[in-house]
A and B are shown apart, each in its own frame.
Chain A
Amino acid sequence: MYGEPYWDESAYYQFSLKQIEQDLEAPTEEIHQMCLDVVNRVVADDELMRRFRIPECHWNLVRDSWQNGDPSLYSRFDFAYAGQGPAKLYENNADTPTSLFETGFWQWLWLEDNVDRGALPRQADQFNSLQEKLVNRFRDLQFLTPDRALHFACCKDTEEDRGTVQYLQDCAREAGISEHFVFMEDIGVDAEGRFADLKDQVITWMFKLYPWEFMFREAYGEYLEDSNVRWLEPPWKSILSNKALLPTLWKLHPGHPNLLPAFFEDELSKAGDVGALVKKPIFSREGANISIVQSGVQSGNEQQSELLSDGPYGEEGFVYQALHPLPKFGANYTLVGSWLIDDEAAGISIREDSGLITQDSSRYLPHIIL
């Protein structure tokens, strides 16, 4: 899988405007509202905060960020969509979505270029207002966060993440924001517990391409509460980037056409005749640690599960989602990423993989609307 191309110029996906608007754009905005409703319920309920594995010492941070209305920048839903019938939600990448640059910039240029050289008809369009909405959203965010410079951060030695963050820096600058960069590992604290960059500049507003569930559990987690930083994504996004979202959505909207049945580990008896289930860690990235089990199987009965992917996740527990394989086009399985800037659907990205689980080694493909 590694070593295969990530970008594939040889192929593209073609949609009708109706497919885009009815099957992807509208459900994306609807599910997003359903997700915000989940946040509202979780912050109000200690039992749910525990279910979502939010460490108790950070409950105030998460709750305050929601109750203060801390603004969000972006999210990406992953859908299984075969071109007909309802798209099914796999998960919500609400905290640290990537492949933004490929979507907002390269995919857009790919279409311009192919139309200009006559390879695609002039009326070919693309569901991709990502870049325009990003820059506009940064303008809003600056208005909502006056007099603060925005620090961007990601981990060292992650070329893909650094590229994503650089793209966001470019968009922020385009919106007139004063921006800085620091690696997560280089962040420091001063005597008052304020975060600082390598130039000892105090961080007051930060975009971090780094999961909340990591930050909650790391040494500087203790400074989060009092640091007076405005975060992108805000701490309340830790509720949505969490796979506990999936069974919670299903409980609130059973039978919703865009949702797959999903269950917490201790409620597996409710799965009934759903059939095969995919076991997903509550916290995981890029399709790691996924396995398939038959419903009716008690948790812990690992002999009957089939491991689909390895990975470093799972210590915080698992949720179970009805198996709904990705559609296969040619030799490849296809996953549709549907982007939101704040509350607005903003475009799609398509990744395909020769295996059933889409991981970070998948190929990125452009699309057109015709």
Chain B
Amino acid sequence: MTRIKRTRAINLESMRKAAGRNFVMRPVALGIVAALMGCSSKEEVKVVASVDDCVDSTELNREQCEAAYQQALREAERTGPKYDARHQCEVEFGSCRQSGSFWLPLMTGFMVGQMLDRDRHYYYNPVYRYSNPYSSHYDRLMTADGSVVGRSGKASYTVPSSATKPKPTVTKTVSRGGFGSVASAKSSWGGGRSGGWGG
């Protein structure tokens, strides 16, 4: 057949999450998914504690490292976890600073890696050391959204490529629950629904 009307190949491994969900139907092909688990997209990054550390441990020069540090500071302000009270922040991250009405953890360092795109961009996400001794994440480095990079003090880290992307801005939410009321009113009709709000 010359014209193929279907997807040529599916990266089964990357679809494993959806496949693992409790779907109503159970096709015969489930076994294939388990058999073909491969490796997902990962990248090696350095976590540096200062501009000097950056110059010593990466291929960036001093000017680039200074710019990287400034960018990471701006990202920390924008995307870092924000707390109402100093003690809430310090319980989780040890050292914190005030910014406006919030408390933010101090950046432990920043991640330097290279985008695998044509232009070879560098990225510089801030990294924090989680220091709540009662948590299984104690002494782990994490990005602003709470993704664990690894135990602190290593020369380099292998992270999923998502860790290298810019994080969303973090704010203080003043209310929740303003969506969903129509769905909930309609689902109380009759015997409810087995499915959802799609069609």
A 240-282 binary contact with B (CB < 8 Å = 1; else 0): 0100000000000000000000000000000000000000000
B residues bordering A, Cβ < 8 Å? Answer: 1, 3-8, 10-11, 14-19, 21-29, 32-33, 79, 82, 145-146, 161-162, 165-187, 189-191, 193-199
Given A170-B17, A189-B178, are A200 and B28 also a contact pair (CB < 8 Å)?
Answer: no
CB–CB B27/A96 < 8 A: no
Q: Which residues of B contact A20 (CB under 8 A)?
A: 5
C-alpha gap A202/B172 in the complex (Å): 9
At the interface, yes or no: A17 with Cβ under 8 Å from chain B? yes
A152-178 interface with B by 8 A CB criterion: 154-156, 158-164, 166-167, 169-171, 173-174, 176, 178
Q: Which residues of B contact A197 (CB under 8 A)?
A: 168
Q: Who on chain B is nearest to A219 by CB?
A: B178
* Segment touching B, from A3-11, A45-53, A293-301, A317-325: A3-11
Q: Which residues of B contact A106 (CB under 8 A)?
A: 23, 25, 27, 29
CB–CB A185/B177 < 8 A: yes
Tally chain A residues at the interface, Cβ within 8 Å. Answer: 99
CB–CB A131/B7 < 8 A: yes
* Segment touching B, from A29-37, A61-69, A81-89, A97-105: A97-105
Q: Which residues of A contact B24 (CB under 8 A)?
A: 6-7, 159-160
At the interface, yes or no: A2 with Cβ under 8 Å from chain B? yes
C-alpha gap A190/B171 in the complex (Å): 7
Chain B binding surface, main DSSP class: loop
CB–CB A147/B198 < 8 A: no
C-alpha gap A102/B25 in the complex (Å): 9
Given A125-B6, A191-B174, are A218 and B22 also a contact pair (CB < 8 Å)?
Answer: no
Partner of B10, one of A105, A166, A179: A105
Chain A binding surface, main DSSP class: mixed
At the interface, yes or no: A226 with Cβ under 8 Å from chain B? no
A residues bordering B, Cβ < 8 Å? Answer: 2, 5-9, 17, 20, 93, 96-99, 101-102, 104-106, 108-113, 123, 125-133, 147, 149, 151, 154-156, 158-164, 166-167, 169-171, 173-174, 176, 178-180, 183-192, 194, 196-197, 199-204, 209-211, 214-215, 217-220, 223, 241, 285-286, 310-313, 347, 360-361, 364, 369
